[in-house]
Structure 1
Amino acid sequence: MDKIAVLIPCFNEEQTIAKVVGDARKTLPEAVVYVYDNNCTDGTARLAEEQGAIVRREYRQGKGNVIRRMFREIDAECYLMLDGDDTYPLDCAREMADRVLEHGADMVVGDRLSSTYFQENKRLFHNFGNSLMRTGINSLFRADIKDIMTGYRALSYEFVKTFPVFSQGFEIETEMTIHAVNYNMQVENVVVEYRDRPDGSMSKLNTYSDGLRVIRKMVQLYRNYRPLHFFGAFCVLLVVLALLIMIPILSEYLRSGLVPRFPTLIVCGFMVLAGIQSFFAGIILEVMAAKDKRDFEYRLMRTSAEKRRKKADDR
């Protein structure tokens, strides 16, 4: 088991990967640096190997697929994950790793948004999207995560080995963040400097299509992890809408004793029934979500025991 594993997913980062690997080895000399080649068509893999990184490959395209492979194959007490585009300085890497190794943090978030991100990032809608996701997730899940979409994180062995990766693309950071918050794992924030990509280095993130995937992932996880809130909101919406539509009908009935629009009244009745059904579906799913949390605690304890065994075997 490695003490610290530096994980760098890469797709055509020839311009910056040598510097990123070199900086990681200089800052964390005891760490093992892993670069995962996600079907690069340039010299990324060769340059990483020349700098002393262990290069492996993931043939399914997408950052989520790469991270799934990384988490499956590598055992370490602390995982430091960053991008290969040289947008994250490594001067905070030691502090982030120590938060995991010495303070027991499960996830340390490299917070770009509290430093230079909005000045350095030239893509307006990326800035808006990051702010939107931070506000949305912190509001829905009652959390205090400073940067939801950052690719700069330090992770514990327990987090990595109990985190089921379902995302295939850039929505993976959203999934990781909500997973940690939902299962009450120890999350800490470290403010990091951010610098925009150098000239000639192109982002692989599509502002609109990937942005929609991220929003869809947030809504999906909210439905899965907070089902009573999710379906309860539908219940309130349907019942309130039905009552608003029924007001003219009830007024006419109270005034004249006649029901003027029977079809509308029937539709309103079905809307109320659908709302009640949604509420009870939320209750049932909430019980299942509570059981999942209990089962997760058992998995977490088994994973911690497994980590202790592996550390003892290494000695």
Structure 2
Amino acid sequence: MMAGMSTDRTSIAVLLPCYNEEMTIGKVVRDFHAALPDADIYVYDNNSTDHTAEIAANAGAIVRPEPRQGKGNVIRALFEDIDADVYVMADGDDTYPADAAPAMVTKVLDGYDMVIGDRLSSTYFTENKRPFHNVGNRVVRSAINGLFHADVTDIMTGYRAFSFTFVKTYPVLARGFEVETEMTIHSLNNNLRLYEMPIQYRDRPEGSVSKLDTVGDGIKVLSTIFRMIREYKPLPFFGGLGMIIGLIGFGLTASVTVDFMRTGMVERFPTLIGAVMLVIAGLLFIVTGIVLDVIAKNNRKTFLLEANRFAIMHRVIRDCSGAEAGSNTSK
């Protein structure tokens, strides 16, 4: 039987990745205990140099260490280690309201794969004191929604709830804070069931320091978007590049052709050779995009089959656990 599964209730796991959050983690754990009394609360300590782990344990959390630095690495460990029916993920900095968690859990039980705690529709832009973060959220949101024809309001929120199937089939590749962006793109690409729930975001309390590097982590987020577009949308990516390169080559070829028609001589051989190479390169990019697009579609089919297998496995285990519990009760 899977650890964390319950025979008489829905098992819920609250996941709190933490790094140096001794000022707030105790309150966060207590708030989630109050909001979800039956949930198991896990704090994965990511090499904290303060008393985060000790305070979390005293507040009633299950504390485990994760030596690989970075939020993405911590979430990968959480998803691998913990089995539950519903997962709620938040940060340990007390910026997300724990009292929104029961409604998020209900939405997952209603059949959604991921519930997104939407900060941007409520108080984020007034509470958040870092203007570059506000700009970054808008840029990332516009780019992803445009490319995936979606309408997700908060791409980068750290407050989410997941189904068992999502957690066990989502490949966590990111190592740092770009993991939330990766989650959203993964969900949109595979047409998963998403639900956005507005929440009341609040800024960190005075004295609590953010671990987010605006410039460094912003570059990582943008590079993640670039990489995932290349992998998930190869035809627009490589096809667009191919069209641009090919049109430049075609334009240069046309200029040499005009000169030839006027003078009867090819006076710019290097330009002609370069132009033809650009046209060939553009065609190769387009063909590459077509081939990779077929591969990407096959990968999506494989993912859906894998997700279906995990969903069936989860139902079978729950049914067997319930039957076993009923048999023990009758005895």
TM-score with structure 2 setting the length: 0.92
Instruction: Provide the secondary structure at the position in 2 that maps to 1:33.
Output: strand
| Aligned residue identity for 2:80 | R
1:87 to 95, 99, 124: 95
Q: Give the % identical residues.
A: 51
d(CA) in 1 for partners of 2:105, 2:270: 64
d(CA) in 1 for partners of 2:73, 2:104: 24
d(CA) in 1 for partners of 2:118, 2:257: 55
| Aligned residue identity for 1:155 | F
Aligned partner of 2:55 in structure 1 is: 47
Aligned partner of 1:270 in structure 2 is: 277
Render the CA deviation track for 1:227-246: whole Å, top value 9, x for unaligned. 11111011111012223333
Matched, 1:235 2:242: yes
Matched, 1:22 2:30: yes
1:35 to 37, 43, 67: 43
Contact 2:32 2:99 in 1 (8 A): no
Aligned partner of 1:133 in structure 2 is: 140
- Displacement of 1:286 in angstroms is 1.1
| Aligned residue identity for 2:58 | E
Render the CA deviation track for 1:182-240: whole Å, top value 9, x for unaligned. 11110110011111111111111111111111101111011111111111011111012
Aligned partner of 2:71 in structure 1 is: 63
Please list, as runs of the form range in 1=range in 2, the aligned pairs for 1:245-260 lying within 5 A after superposition.
Answer: 245-260=252-267
Aligned partner of 2:20 in structure 1 is: 12
1:166 to 173, 177, 185: 173
Matched, 1:176 2:178: no
Alignment length (residue pairs): 314
| Aligned residue identity for 1:45 | A
Could you tell which deviates more after superposition, 304-313 or 150-159?
304-313
Contact 2:239 2:286 in 1 (8 A): yes
Aligned partner of 1:280 in structure 2 is: 287
- Displacement of 1:310 in angstroms is 2.4
d(CA) in 2 for partners of 1:189, 1:146: 8
Could you tell which deviates more after superposition, 57-66 or 237-246?
237-246
d(CA) in 2 for partners of 1:75, 1:309: 15
- Displacement of 1:91 in angstroms is 2.5
Instruction: Provide the secondary structure at the position in 2 that maps to 1:12.
Output: coil
d(CA) in 2 for partners of 1:39, 1:141: 36
- Displacement of 1:247 in angstroms is 4.1
- Displacement of 1:158 in angstroms is 0.6
Instruction: Provide the secondary structure at the position in 1 that maps to 2:41.
Output: strand
d(CA) in 1 for partners of 2:143, 2:40: 36
- Any gaps of 5 or more consecutive residues in structure 2? 323-331
Aligned partner of 1:117 in structure 2 is: 124
d(CA) in 2 for partners of 1:69, 1:79: 14
d(CA) in 1 for partners of 2:99, 2:244: 49
Aligned partner of 1:151 in structure 2 is: 158
- Displacement of 1:291 in angstroms is 1.1
1:196 to 203, 209, 213: 203
| Aligned residue identity for 1:11 | Y
Render the CA deviation track for 1:142-175: whole Å, top value 9, x for unaligned. 1121111100001111100000111111111111
- Any gaps of 5 or more consecutive residues in structure 1? none
Aligned partner of 2:268 in structure 1 is: 261
d(CA) in 1 for partners of 2:206, 2:248: 53
Instruction: Provide the secondary structure at the position in 2 that maps to 1:113.
Output: coil
d(CA) in 2 for partners of 1:306, 1:69: 21
d(CA) in 2 for partners of 1:314, 1:13: 37
| Aligned residue identity for 1:240 | L
d(CA) in 2 for partners of 1:77, 1:145: 25
d(CA) in 2 for partners of 1:136, 1:56: 36
d(CA) in 1 for partners of 2:248, 2:196: 42
| Aligned residue identity for 2:146 | S
Instruction: Provide the secondary structure at the position in 2 that maps to 1:293.
Output: helix
Instruction: Provide the secondary structure at the position in 1 that maps to 2:219.
Output: helix
Contact 2:31 2:99 in 1 (8 A): no
d(CA) in 1 for partners of 2:145, 2:161: 20
d(CA) in 1 for partners of 2:177, 2:320: 36
Instruction: Provide the secondary structure at the position in 2 that maps to 1:155.
Output: strand
Aligned partner of 2:310 in structure 1 is: 303
